Amino acid sequence: MQDYINEPQEQDDSETIRDYLMLFWRWAWLIILAGVLAGTASFLLSMRMDPVYEAKSTVLISEASGTSGTDYSSLMASERLTRTYSEVMSSETVLVEVSQLLGITMPLTDMAGMITVTPVRDTQLIELAVRSSDPEQAARIANTLVGVFTNQIQNIQSSRYSQSKDSLQTQLADLERQIQDYSDRMNAATSEDEIERLDSKLSQYQQIYSNLLMSFEQVRLAEAQSSSNITQIEPASVPYAPVSPNVLRNTVLAVAVGMMLAAGGLVAREALDDTVKSPREVQRLFGLPVLGVIARNTIPEAYLITDYQPRSPVTEAYRMLRTNIQFANIDRPVKTLLVTSAEPQEGKTTIAANLAVVNAQNGSEVTLMDCDLRRPTVHKRFKLPNQKGFSTLFISTLDSLDQIRQVSKIPHLSVLTSGPLPPNPSELIGSRRMIEILKRVGAKGDLIIIDSPPTLAVTDSSILAPVVDGVLLVITPGETRRTAVRQMIEQLNRVGGTILGVVFNNFNEHRTYYSYRSNKYYARYGKYFSEDTQELSRRKA
């Protein structure tokens, strides 16, 4: 027994890309609609938002000359100082003084949210940006913030040397008074001894004054060398164009995001979809050949399209299916064919009836048997009575077959309807009498096509599969689940059935790349669906 079930294999990259491209092409209208809706919503929201203006200023931090250098440590220290100043610039102390100077009453948290301080990497520059709905207010806050920050940093740096400078200035003032006093006393003295003594004292005070003055200058020099200089090299100007909302940018981004979300949703839906979609998927997942693809048509099920429109593209697809079945098993010609599906409502009766018609049109003596003893429908398709039929043969002699089998309006096609519904269909189909019935029916014809119940619903098809020459599986793309197909194949293989292949029924011509190629074929063949065929259809109607 041949095992047709293969383990799923990875698709080639080209096939995967092609499948996704066809998926996006098929749903392009939805992707575009999602982008248009998202872009429209973003445009309307952006137009209703209040404009926001941004004022920018650039500050240069000149490092103290006493700490400057070219080694790595000095460069790192310079970058750390710039980052530190960028944090201090937006501190609460600075913001409080700025709000007091400008008379701003908003909370400090709101004001801090308006300010962005960014150190420029690998430089000693700090970029300050202030956003506000009032462009003039944004510029004022930026410039005032730089001024307040500069003053506070200078005060902090000066406080380190203020005590020494104050002490030296006090001593210098005292010495200046002493020097002036001795100068006056020396000018008033009359004796040489007195003048000489005062001049010696005055020289001492002058020497001390020179030393203190030198110390004072050294302190000032040390202060200048250790203090960083803050310079506003680019003052903030009043902005005239808002930076937010950027209507064009928001709209374009919304369109892109909307289309990407729609495309992602389609990919996720396709990945989670467990249904069989294309013939190539059947070949890849289950290793079964696809013997036919029957496109979706608008003909009601009450009419057999192979008889109603004998030259239509769909009828030609049935003829191709007939030919493929004939060559499906060369070593064992197919005399009895079982048509089944995994689940109900997949069109197996339609396939069986039309396949019987095209075989009869080819000159073969065909018998269509309705072995669905639960929900038979073959007699409805051919508009035949169902008082007697297949089930009657189990309680009567086989010699009555010719009276029970009905001749249809299609030449060379006989129909054996189901007959009265028995209470035990599975037991009847599994009996020896069933094999005798098949032999007797086959003795007076070339081909028996059996319409059976769904394989996963009841056991009738599994019982019939070993006693027929071949089994044809009907799959409806987009509806038949992969797990159901897998279970059906496993069940038929388990009982020894010979699966010839798969026929796709009700195939949507706009779903896959395969259907695109089929469409091109149908379009070329459609010119043969000429006026005489249409006239024939009208006469039959």
Kindly write down the DSSP assignment for every residue of 48-85, as one continuous string: HSPPBEEEEEEEEEE--TTT--SSHHHHHHHHHHHHHH
For residue 260, what are the contacts with CB-CB under 8 A and spacing of at least 6? Answer: none
pLDDT in tens, 335-373: 999 999 999 988 899 999 999 999 999 999 999 999 999
Reply yes or no on whether the pLDDT at 525 is more than 90.
no
Q: What separation, in Å, do the N-terminal and C-terminal C-alpha atoms of the chain show?
A: 47
DSSP code of residue 425 = H
pLDDT in tens, 311-342: 888 999 999 999 999 888 777 788 999 999 99
Structure tokens belonging to residue 113: 């949210």
The angle formed by the CA atoms of residues 19, 316 and 351, to the nearest 5 degrees, is 80
pLDDT in tens, 392-402: 988 888 888 88
Q: How far is CA 424 from CA 284, 373, 420, 427, in A?
A: 39, 9, 12, 6
| pLDDT score for 73 | 55
| pLDDT score for 279 | 84
| pLDDT score for 124 | 82
78: pLDDT confidence band, cut at 50, 70 and 90? low
For residue 423, what are the contacts with CB-CB under 8 A and spacing of at least 6? Answer: none
CA distance linking residue 189 with residue 390, whole number of Å: 159
| pLDDT score for 416 | 93
Q: DSSP assignment of 400-422, as one string?
A: GHHHHSEE-SSTTEEEE---SPP
Reply yes or no on whether the pLDDT at 72 is more than 50.
no
Structure tokens belonging to residue 336: 């009895």
CA distance linking residue 468 with residue 338, whole number of Å: 7
CA distance linking residue 295 with residue 514, whole number of Å: 12
CA distance linking residue 234 with residue 146, whole number of Å: 11
Q: How far is CA 56 from CA 124, 140, 390, in A?
A: 17, 11, 93
User: Whats the size of the chain, residue-wise?
Assistant: 541
3-state secondary structure 37-52: HHHHHHHHHHHHCCCE
Interstrand relation of 336-341 and 125-132 (parallel, antiparallel or unpaired): unpaired
Average pLDDT taken over every residue of the chain = 82
Q: Is the Cβ–Cβ distance between 493 and 287 less than 8 Å?
A: no
The residue behind tokens 């990259």 is 13
3-state secondary structure 119-179: ECCCCCEEEEEEEECCHHHHHHHHHHHHHHHHHHHHHHHHHHHHHHHHHHHHHHHHHHHHH
Q: How far is CA 166 from CA 153, 206, 242, in A?
A: 20, 20, 51
Q: Is the Cβ–Cβ distance between 478 and 267 less than 8 Å?
A: no
Which is more confident, 512 or 42? 42
pLDDT > 90 in the chain, percent: 38
Cis peptide upstream of residue 245 (ω within 30 degrees of 0): yes
Reply yes or no on whether the pLDDT at 6 is more than 60.
no
| pLDDT score for 517 | 46
Reply yes or no on whether the pLDDT at 229 is more than 50.
yes
The residue behind tokens 């009498």 is 433
Reply yes or no on whether the pLDDT at 9 is more than 80.
no
Q: Is the Cβ–Cβ distance between 506 and 298 less than 8 Å?
A: no
354: closest CA among 301, 407, 406, 405? 301
171 by DSSP, 3-state: which?
helix
Strand partners, 406: 415
The whole-model pTM stands at 0.62
CA distance linking residue 247 with residue 50, whole number of Å: 12
Strands in 406-407's sheet, in edge-to-edge order, are 290-295, 499-507, 470-475, 336-341, 447-451, 366-370, 413-416, 406-407
Which is more confident, 448 or 89? 448
Phi and psi torsions of 106, nearest 5°: -70, 155
Reply yes or no on whether the pLDDT at 89 is more than 90.
no
Reply yes or no on whether the pLDDT at 75 is more than 60.
no
DSSP code of residue 244 = B
E-only strand ranges, 259-398? 290-295, 336-341, 366-370
